[in-house]
Amino acid sequence: MKVRAFLAVDLDEGLRDHVSRIQDTLKSADAQVKFVEPENLHFTLKFFGDVGEGKLRRIENVVRDTLRGYEPFEISIRGAGVFPNPRYIRVVWLGVENPETFSDLQRSLDMEFVKMGFRPERDYVPHLTVGRVKGPRNRDKLAELIGELEDVEVGSMRVSEVSLKRSELTPAGPIYTDMEVFRL
């Protein structure tokens, strides 16, 4: 049986309230945005899509082997931004300040996943997705609020583990379940 899987770093629980307050500010635009539930906030390292049991085991082995080269590290979350651009907003995110170690970790993992047949990530930017725009209503007001938050300080957290997650899509939103947690 195949499962929809991805690799992620969970947002530190201590920062969820602050991110929720930022989401509340953005909600005041009354734009058509589906905001990520606080318990689902994470930094995606790799989205695998539907994978079978055998490939999941290989993914776990790659992650285990790659993480041996890393110690826990700190990241600072700062600044709101959008993908792909302010005139056509699809994703609202919070950024990682000084993302070198985070980006290096993602690159190291991705090189191994490409050897397994997965597509390479292009232009990876570590970010925390806080919402996805679903329609055009009040997009200008949303862009204005995001601009006001471009330097917002969210806080720092220690990255000490990476989670292989299952994603189940439901009408109420996705349900993420840890299948395996790997310590740095």
Reported as a single tens digit per residue, the pLDDT across 86-96 is 889 999 999 99
CA-CA distance, 116 to 113, in Å (whole number)?
A: 5
Q: How many domains does the chain have?
A: 1
Reported as a single tens digit per residue, the pLDDT across 57-76 is 999 999 999 999 999 999 99
CATH number, position 138: 3.90.1140.10
The reply to whether 18 belongs to the active site is no
- Domain span at residue 154 reads 3-183
Reported as a single tens digit per residue, the pLDDT across 75-121 is 999 999 999 998 899 999 999 998 999 999 999 999 999 999 999 99
Catalytic residue among 78, 127, 139, 165: 127
Q: What is the token pair recorded at 126?
A: 């570590």
Looking at the predicted structure, is the pLDDT value of residue 127 above 90?
yes
CA-CA distance, 106 to 121, in Å (whole number)?
A: 9
The H-or-E segment that residue 166 falls in is: strand 161-168
CA-CA distance, 117 to 51, in Å (whole number)?
A: 12
Q: What is the token pair recorded at 112?
A: 């191994």
Contact between 35 and 73 (Cβ < 8 Å): no
Which residue in this structure is represented by tokens 């992650």?
63
The reply to whether 127 belongs to the active site is yes
Catalytic residue among 8, 10, 36, 42: 42
CA-CA distance, 78 to 154, in Å (whole number)?
A: 6
Collapse the DSSP code of 45 into the 3-class scheme (helix H, G, I; strand E, B; otherwise coil) and give the result. Answer: strand
Q: In what order do the strands lie in the sheet containing 73-85?
A: 33-35, 127-133, 88-97, 73-85, 153-159
Residue 44: per-residue pLDDT: 97
Which residue in this structure is represented by tokens 């310590």?
183
Q: What is the token pair recorded at 176?
A: 């993420």
Looking at the predicted structure, is the pLDDT value of residue 172 above 90?
no
